[in-house]
Amino acid sequence: MSAQIKKRTSTPVQKKPEYDGDIGTVISTGSTLLDLAISGGRVRGGGLPGGILVEIFGPSGSGKTVLLCEIAGAIQRKKGNIMFFDPEARLNKTFAQMFDLDPDEMDYTTPDTIPEMFKEVRKWEPGEAAINGIMADSLAALSTDMEMDNDDGDKMGMRRPKEFSEQLRKTARILVQKNLLMVCSNQIRDNLDAGPYGVKHKSPGGNAIGFYASLRLRTMGATKIKQKEKVAGKEVTRVVGITTTVEVFKSSVDKPYRTAPVTIIFDYGIDNIRENLVFIKKYTGASTYVLNGEKLAVSLEKAVAIVEEEGLEKELQEETIDVWEIIENKFKSDRKNKKR
């Protein structure tokens, strides 16, 4: 039985006067550290605002779909509506339920082409909610009208970037007007025609997606999480998840190039408790896993269990935000504001 953790008694760190003002309702990614990396300098706790296009891009198996579904589930929990585009038809109820995402309560379609998807986005009237969400998993699976009409396909690869550019130009202002949060996943693929000095990896669709996206999140460096168990006296090892780094590659929301570790357990989703415990231990100099200065456990798994058993998730999140803000303030410029 663990010692009871003292409830938070100190006053939470208030939003700094230098903050850029309230950016309205925000949606969590499921990761406190990623929320902070996205907009922690503008709103306490950070998160995703409405009215923007977000691209999550990276190699296969780096957590893009999980992150997209976590965001969709967070929107539904705030009573927002979801339009979910699934060109590869991969979403199933069992997978969706991990993220508290109800497929029966959203507009779900499997579009074939780029124009088909974006026309639906522009026509969508989701009703009143603080933020409604449009999810697309994945852009790389969308075809062009030319590919669908021509057996030879789009030989020169020129039509795809053009269609993305045309459709995004028409759609971007609609997202702002209706305060829609559109989140799209996109793959990074090897560019075999790059040559010795060209770009070695690129995302399908040309430069239009990156240009129109207000926020681009790059998933990279995924490492496997392995678990060992004894079965009939034999040691068995299984890969149970991954830890990936997410970089704010582009941002008009807050500062770019912040990074956050995101741990994904395959049958659970994003493990926010685990990452917050590791963060606090690392940046408070504690020798064990702690919360508000009180020892939880030496073992990370035990510390996670204590937080869940005693309902300390919110306490943990608040301390994570406090520590993150202390670190971030170390890098704040002391320069005077420019004046005319």
d(C-alpha 59, C-alpha 311), whole Å: 35
d(C-alpha 319, C-alpha 291), whole Å: 7
Note down pLDDT in tens along the chain; length 340 residues: 444 445 444 444 443 333 344 577 899 999 999 999 999 999 999 999 999 999 999 999 999 999 999 999 999 999 999 999 999 988 988 899 899 999 999 999 999 999 999 999 999 999 888 899 999 998 989 988 656 566 555 454 578 889 999 999 999 999 999 999 999 999 875 544 444 544 445 566 678 999 999 999 999 989 999 999 999 999 999 999 999 999 999 999 999 999 999 999 999 999 999 999 999 999 999 999 999 999 999 999 999 999 999 999 999 999 999 999 999 999 988 888 887 7
Handedness of CA 205, 211, 215, 216 (dihedral sign): positive
List the domain boundaries for the chain: 26-270, 272-330
The DSSP 8-state label assigned to residue 4 in this structure reads P
pTM of the model: 0.88
Domain 26-270 CATH (choose: 3.40.50.2300, 3.30.470.20, 3.40.50.2000, 3.40.50.300): 3.40.50.300
Q: Where are the beta strands (DSSP E) in 175-233?
A: 180-187, 189-190, 201-202, 215-231
Of 168, 276, 256, 177, nearest to 216 by C-alpha is 256
